Amino acid sequence: MWARAVWLAFRSGLGGCQAFSTKANFQGSGPITVEVIEHLERLALVDFGSREAVARLEKAIAFADRLRAVDTDGVEPMESVLEDRCLYLRSDKVAEGNCAEELLQNSHQVVEEYFVAPPGNISLPTLGEQERTLPTQLSSYSGKGVSCEHMKAQ
């Protein structure tokens, strides 16, 4: 279960990795520290699990680092492949909604037309702890943990 989550995380998570510098960025390819892994896991609610997974991450970063070989001085970054298109403006009319029943069917726990989520936000237990289990109660709209459906959507 961990491994699958990790593979899927790589496939869709790679796009976001190289986009912008954050504090967790690491220049060049070097070993990734435990702090960075913890930070990423907390942010993205993924579980890197094994040492093998971290090694794969390092290889992926090294692969992407080859982009730095391109000289981009004086070149405006491309924000979007859609940059030549016009952003379509919709007129302000009500045309959707009123499908509460349909939407609520997606959640396995519902209380009086509300979605049910666990209290507060979910933080991962720290790396030191032995027992690490993915949350067992997953309601699709709780934003909790990583479910395959979510990864495909993003």
Partner 1 sequence: MAAPILRWVGPGKRWALAWVDSSSSHRRVSPNGSASHRMREQRSVAQQSLHTAPKPRKGGHKWAAVVGLEVHAQISSNSKLFSGSQVSFAAPPNSLVSFFDASLPGTLPVLNRRCVEAAVMTGLALNCHINKKSLFDRKHYFYADLPAGYQITQQRLPIAVRGSLTYGVFVGNKRSHMATKTVRIKQIQLEQDSGKSLHDDLRSQTLIDLNRAGVGLLEMVLEPDLSCGEEAATVVRELQLILQALGTSKANMAEGQLRVDANISVHQPGEPLGIRTEVKNLNSIRFLARAIDHEIQRQISELESGGVILNETRSFDHRLGCTVPMRDKEGKQDYRFMPEPNLPPLVLYDTASLPVGVEPQQVINIDQIRDTLPELPRVTRERLVREYGMLPEHSFTLLNEVGLLQFFQSVMKETRAEPKKVTSWVLNVLLGYLKQHNLAVNESPITPSALAGLLDLLDSKAISSSAAKEVFEELWKGKAKTAAQIVSEKQLELMQDQEALEQLCQATMEGHPQVVTDMKTGNPKAINKLIGLVRKATLNRADPAVIKNILERLSA
Q: Residues 76, 79, 129, 131: which binds partner 1 (CB under 8 A)?
A: 79
75 binds partner 1 (CB under 8 A): no
Q: Please list, residue by residue across 67-104, b when 16 or more beta carbons sit within 10 angstroms of its beta carbon and e when fewer do.
A: eeeeeeeeeeeeeeeeeeeeeeeeeeeeeeeeeeeeee
Smallest separation (angstroms) from partner 1 to the CB of 151: 10
Choice between 83 and 129, CB closer to partner 1:
83
82 binds partner 1 (CB under 8 A): yes
Write the secondary structure of 68-86 as one string of H (helix), E (strand) and C (coil): HHCCCCCCCCCCCCCCCCC
128 binds partner 1 (CB under 8 A): no
In the 8-state DSSP scheme, what is residue 67? G
Distances (CA, A) of 119 to 68, 116, 140: 44, 9, 15
67 binds partner 1 (CB under 8 A): no
10 binds partner 1 (CB under 8 A): no
Touching partner 1, residues 93-112 (CB under 8 A)? 93-100, 103-104, 106, 111-112
Token pair recorded at residue 103? 């939407």
Report the interface residues with partner 1, using CB under 8 A.
Answer: 15-16, 19-20, 22-24, 39, 42-43, 45, 79-100, 103-104, 106, 111-123, 141-144, 149-150, 152-154
